[in-house]
Amino acid sequence: MKRTQKMASPPQMPASKGRRTFLRQLLASSTLLTLNHAPIAASAPQPSGEKAYRNFEDIYRKKWTWDRVVRGTHGTNCAGNCAFNVYVKDGIVWREEQQGVYGSSGDAPDYGPRGCQKGLRHSKYMYGSQRVLYPMKSIGERGNGKWERISWHQATTEIADKFLDLVVAHGPECISYGSGTQMALKRASFCSLARFANITGVTVPEFLSGVGDLPSGIQMTLGQIHTSDTMAAVYKSRCVLVWMSNPAVTRIPDAHFFWDAKYNGTEVIAISPEFTPTAMHSSLWVNPKPGTDTALAMAMVNVILEERLFKANYIREQSDLPLLVRMDNKRFLRAEDFATQSDATADGGGFYIWDEATDSVARAPGSGTGNDQAATLKLGKLRPALEGRWRVQGLDGVIEVTTAFELLKVRAAEHAPELMSELTGVNANVIRKIARTFAAAEPAMIFSGYAACKWLHGDILQRSMLLLLSLTGNIGPEGGGLQIGNSAKTQTMAFAFDGIGVAFRGISGTTWDYDHAKMKQLNQETYGKKLAQEFDDYYQESIRKGWYPSHSSKGWKMGFFAGNNGANWRASGKRWRKSALEELELIVSLVPDAGVTSHYSDYVLPIAHHYERADMMLQSRTPYVQVLDVAVPPLGEAVDDWEANRLLAEAIGRRAKERGIGIIDDVIDGRRVQRDYRRCLELYTMNGKIKSAKDVCQYIIDTTPGIPKIPFAELAEKGVVRVNGSERTTWDDKETTYHSEVFESVRDKVPYQTVSGRQSFYIDHEWFLEFDEALPAHKKPLHNEGYPLRMMMGHARHGIHSMWRDDSFLLSLQRGEPDIYINPDDAAERDVKDGDTVRIFNDAGEFFAMAHLSAGIQPSMLFMYHGWDPMMFRNRQNFGAVISTAGLIKPTSMAGGYGQIGYKPARFSPNQTYKDFTCDFEKASEEVTAGEPA
C-alpha cells in the first residue's frame, strides 16, 4: 500500500455553486444502487464485531469450503478419461483431484489414481484467454484476425442459409462435418454429430485414417482393427515389445503397469530409434534406424522360423500359413482350380491344405461357404502340413503347390539378422536375442501405437508384428496380442439411425483430401512425376473398378470442424490450408479453444469445455465408464456439442420452411434417400424426446452391452462405474462392451472375417502380388531428395494434441516455445548450440523452433513432439511445413473386392502417411531472430 500525500482532492470540486443541487438531484434519482451482475442485495447487513472488516486478512479467516464437488474428467482423446473430483465454489472451478476409486483387473495391480498434469491444469486452462466464449464471425479476409461477435441466432441462421443454398444447388455431399480430438470420444457429443449427419447427409470423414491412425494392416490380417485389452493386460505378459509407442509419455495414467510387470519378471523391450522415456525404464532398449522396423520384425521372424521356435499347432489352426499356394502364379489354390470338385463355389471361397494324416489335399477348415467345415476352424482329424511341395490335378493340368509357410521362409530368409543388421543398425546378436526371448515367453505381447500406421508401409509393419505374434501363438492369450486400440460397441450409429434409417455418409478422410486438395501435384513436387503418376493411376483405377467412391464430382464447398484443428495437423501444413481449406465457400469451427483452424474460419461457435457439460466416455484401457458432468455452466455463451447441433438443426429447419425448400433427393450407397430439411429439428430431437446430452447418455447406457443399466444421475454421482464382464484383463466376454472377436476365433474356433477365414499373412490380391506385398517385407521409406535427416514425431507429454499445449504453467515446465530434439553431433556439424533458434526445412517448406540437444537422439534424425499449434510458430508455420506426405495414398490401400480388404470407412481405407519425408536443419539467420525479445 503506497504512502500517499494527505489532502488529495476530494471527489467534488470545492464550493461549486451547483453542488447542492447536484447532490439533491443525485439523491433523489432512482435507486442509488445498481447491480447489473448480481440480484439486488438485501438491505445492507449490519456487520457485528466479528463480521467487521478492518483489514484484508479478515476475509481470509473464514474457512474455505466447497459448494459442490462434482465428478468429471477431460473428454479428450488421450483415451485416459481419468476419474476426477472437481471442486466448485461460487460458480467457479478452483481445482480438481483424482477420485482415487479404481479397482483392479484380475490379479494385476490396481489402476491407481490415474490422472496427469494436464488434467490438473484444466481448472486454470478453462478460464484462459484461448477460450472461445461467444459466436464470432470473420470480417474481411480469412485469417486477418478481425472478428465480430454475433448472437447464436444470427450465426446459425446465416450458416443455415448458406448450408441450404449448397444443398439445393449441389446436394449435401459437398459439405463436410469433421470431428476431432476434442469431440470425438465423448459419446453424447459424437452421437449428436452422427445424428445430425444422418439427417442432413453431410459428408463425415472418419478421423482414424485422416490422422494416420488406421491400423489397416490389422484389418488385412484379422478382418477387424480393434484388438487391444485393458492396460492391466501388460502385467500378464512375460515379454512386452513396446514398439511404435511411448507409453511413459502417452499413457501417463497407466504406464506404471510396464514397470510393475518388469519388477514381476516380465521382459520389457522398448524399440525406438531414440532413447525415449519408455526406454529409460525398460529391461532392454533396441534402437533401429527410423523406418526399418519391418526389417527388424522380419529378421525376428527369420530367427523364429530357422530356430523352429514357432508354435506349429497354433498356426496350423489359426493362420493361413498352411494354405496351399500355386507356384506358377503365386495365388492360393482355390476351389475353382480343381477339375474334380463339384461343389466349387464361385465366390473365391474354399482354400486348401495338404493333410499329412491322409497325405492328400484337403479343404481348409474355416474357408468357403456352403459346407460344415466353413463354420469352424477346428482341425478335427486333419493335420495340415506346414512344409513341403506337392502336385495336384487342376482344371488345366498339374499344379505345383507349396504352403504359404514355405514362401514365408524364403521371404524371412531375405531378412536374416546378419543381412538386416546394417540396414537397421541393430547388431545381429541383439536381434536373435530378442527374437528368442519373445518366442520363449508365454505369453508375449506387442504394445504398439498409431505411429505404426503413419509410415507409407505401416500396414506391412503391422502385418509383420501380427506374424510374430501368430507364429508364437500369442494372438489370443491373456497378456498377449497386438495392443493398439479397441472401440466401444456403443450404439452411436443406432442412435443416429433411430427413427430415420441409414442415410449416413461416412467416408475416408484421406481420399477426401486427395480428391479435393491437389495431392497429385504435391506428390509430383516432392517425390517426382513417376511416383505421383503411379499412385494416381492406381487411385483412379480403384475408383473405376468401383472399389472406392469418387469424391470429386460434387466438389467440397463447406466444412464444419468440431473439436478438430485440421489446419494444425494435416500432413502438408500451410499448403493444405491454401489448397483445401481456403477454397471452401464457408468454414465453421465448433471449438472450446482458439486454434489455427478457427482463425481461418468464417464462423466460430463456442463450445463448452470438459467441466461444463454432461457426457460420458468409455475407453478400452480400463474397464470403466466415466462421466462428465456440469460442474459449472458453460462459460460465456458456450454450449455443449449436443446443443450446438440442435441450434444448427433448428436454424436449418426454420429457414427451410421459410424459404419453402422441399424434399431433396439424395443417394447413399446406391440407395435413394429423401431429405426433408424442414424436419431437421424434430428428427434431431426424436420429436422432442431427446432434450439434452444427458438424454443421449441415457440412450447409450440403455442400449450398449456391458454398461450397467443405471440412470445417468447415478453415473454422475458415482463418477466411474465398472463395465460388466470385465473381471479379466482381456475383453473376452461377449457381454461386455469392448469384446474383441479375436477370442471367438482363438478360443471358440470361429473363422475370422477374412477371405480365407484365417489370420491372413499371405494376401494374394492382384495388386499385392504386383507390389510383391503378398507377404510382409521391408520396404524403404520415401525421402525428399537431397535431405538426409528423418524428423520423427510423437504425441507429447505436456498436451493432448493442441489442447493445453499453450498452458502457461506447462510451458514453464518446458522451454516456453516449440523445441526440437537434436543429436549433439548433428548440431555441432551445423554449428548449432542448445537453445539456438533453428530452421528446419526441405523443398516443401520451412519452420523455426528452438534447438534442444540430447544424446538420446539417434544421429541423422530429429525428434519433435507434436501438437504445437501453428499460432505458436513464426509465420504461423508449424512442423507441417516440411511434411509433404499427404498425397501418399499407397496403391494397395486402395485395393478392394477381397473380403476384408475393401473400402470400409474406419476399418479399411488409405491411411494418412506422415513419416515418409526427410529434411535438414541449420541455425536460423540473424534476421529471423532480430527484433525478438532477448
Partner 1 sequence: MTPDSLTITPTNDSERYIQDRDLNLTAAVRCKSYGLFSSLLASSHEIDVGKQLREVAGMDNFCVYGIDLGALCGTYLSVDKLARKNEYSRLFEIGDSGPPVAIREQQQFGQISGIREDLVRFYEFFDYKIHQHYAWAPDHISVILEFTHLLCYYESVVSEDQLSYQLAQYDFVSRHLVDWAPIFADLIDNVQPDSLYADIARSLCLFITRDHEWQASTIFPMERSGDNG
Partner 2 sequence: MARQVAMVIDLNKCIGCHTCTTACKSLWTDEPGQEYMLWHNVETKPGPGYPENWEASGGGWENGQLKPGQLMSKESHGTECSVNHEAVFFDASEIRLRQDEKMKVGSNWNEDSSSGEYPNNYHFYLPRLCNHCTKPSCLEACPVRAIYKREEDGVVLIDQDKCQGLRACNTACPYKKIYYNHVTKKSQKCIFCFPRLEKGEAPACAKQCPGKLRFVGFLEDEDGPIHKLVYEWKVALPLHPEYGTEPNVFYVPPILPNAYDDNGDISDDPRVPIEYLRQLFGEEVDGALITLDVEMERKKQGKSSQLMDLLIAKDWKSMFNIPDVRIE
* Binding test (CB under 8 A) with partner 2, winner from 72, 75, 115, 509: 115
Task: Give the binding range for partner 1 (CB under 8 A) out of 3-11, 307-315, 325-333, 680-688.
Answer: 3-11
Closer Cβ to partner 1, 53 or 342, answer by number: 53
> Which residues, 583 to 612, sit near partner 2 by CB under 8 A?
599
Q: Which residues pair with 586 in a beta bridge?
A: 558
Task: Give the binding range for partner 2 (CB under 8 A) out of 151-159, 428-436, 632-640, 886-894.
Answer: 428-436
Asked if residues 408 and 386 have their Cβ atoms less than 8 Å apart, the reply is no
* Binding test (CB under 8 A) with partner 1, winner from 871, 897, 904, 929: 871
> Which residues, 288 to 327, sit near partner 1 by CB under 8 A?
none
Q: Which does 398 bind (CB under 5 to 8 A by kind): partner 2, partner 1, none?
A: none
Asked if residues 576 and 886 have their Cβ atoms less than 8 Å apart, the reply is yes
Q: Work out whether 149 is an interface residue with partner 1 (CB under 8 A).
A: yes
Q: Who contacts 484 (Cβ-Cβ below 8 Å, separation ≥6)?
A: 215, 218, 227, 228, 448, 449, 450, 452, 462
Task: Give the binding range for partner 1 (CB under 8 A) out of 9-17, 231-239, 410-418, 852-860.
Answer: 9-17
> Which residues, 766 to 825, sit near partner 1 by CB under 8 A?
808
* Binding test (CB under 8 A) with partner 1, winner from 81, 85, 99, 130: 130
Instruction: Please state the closest distance from residue 65 (CB atom) to partner 1, in A.
Output: 10
Q: Who contacts 317 (Cβ-Cβ below 8 Å, separation ≥6)?
A: 377, 378, 379, 749
Q: Work out whether 140 is an interface residue with partner 1 (CB under 8 A).
A: no
Task: Give the binding range for partner 2 (CB under 8 A) out of 112-120, 337-345, 500-508, 565-573.
Answer: 112-120
> Which residues, 644 to 683, sit near partner 1 by CB under 8 A?
none
Q: Work out whether 297 is an interface residue with partner 2 (CB under 8 A).
A: no
Task: Give the binding range for partner 2 (CB under 8 A) out of 116-124, 320-328, 401-409, 521-529.
Answer: 116-124
Question: In Å, how far are 110, 175, 692 from 107, measured between CA atoms?
Answer: 8, 50, 40
Q: Is the previous residue joined to 443 through a cis bond, with omega within 30 degrees of 0?
A: yes
Q: Which does 55 bind (CB under 5 to 8 A by kind): partner 2, partner 1, none?
A: partner 1
Q: Work out whether 104 is an interface residue with partner 2 (CB under 8 A).
A: yes
Q: Work out whether 425 is an interface residue with partner 2 (CB under 8 A).
A: yes
Question: What's the DSSP call for residue 384?
Answer: B
Nearest to 257 by CA among 104, 151, 148: 104
* Binding test (CB under 8 A) with partner 1, winner from 175, 444, 635, 673: 635
Q: Work out whether 854 is an interface residue with partner 2 (CB under 8 A).
A: yes
User: Among all chains, which residue has been given the C-alpha cell 473428454?
Assistant: 75
Nearest to 273 by CA among 778, 777, 793: 793
Instruction: Please state the closest distance from residue 730 (CB atom) to partner 2, in A.
Output: 19
Using CB atoms within 10 A of its CB, is residue 675 exposed (0-12), middle (13-18) or buried (19+)?
buried
Spatial distance between the Cα atoms of 657 and 680, rounded to a whole number of angstroms: 10
Nearest to 316 by CA among 350, 354, 349, 348: 354
Q: Give the three-state DSSP class for 270.
A: strand
User: Among all chains, which residue has been given the C-alpha cell 532477448?
Assistant: 934
Task: Give the binding range for partner 1 (CB under 8 A) out of 19-27, 168-176, 289-297, 716-724.
Answer: 19-27
Asked if residues 621 and 447 have their Cβ atoms less than 8 Å apart, the reply is no
- At 406, which helix (H) or strand (E)? helix 404-413
Spatial distance between the Cα atoms of 535 and 527, rounded to a whole number of angstroms: 11
Q: Who contacts 772 (Cβ-Cβ below 8 Å, separation ≥6)?
A: none
Instruction: Please state the closest distance from residue 143 (CB atom) to partner 1, in A.
Output: 9
* Binding test (CB under 8 A) with partner 1, winner from 104, 112, 147, 841: 147
Closer Cβ to partner 1, 45 or 265, answer by number: 45
> Which residues, 776 to 835, sit near partner 2 by CB under 8 A?
797-798, 806-809, 811-817, 821, 823, 834-835
* Binding test (CB under 8 A) with partner 2, winner from 72, 135, 178, 253: 253
Cα R_g (the chain), whole angstroms: 30
Backbone angles phi, psi at 649, to 5 degrees: -60, -40
Closer Cβ to partner 2, 361 or 881, answer by number: 881
Q: Work out whether 143 is an interface residue with partner 2 (CB under 8 A).
A: yes
* Binding test (CB under 8 A) with partner 2, winner from 14, 18, 91, 145: 145
Q: Which does 260 bind (CB under 5 to 8 A by kind): partner 2, partner 1, none?
A: partner 2
Task: Give the binding range for partner 1 (CB under 8 A) out of 11-19, 225-233, 418-426, 570-578.
Answer: 11-19
Q: Which residues pair with 400 in a beta bridge?
A: 391
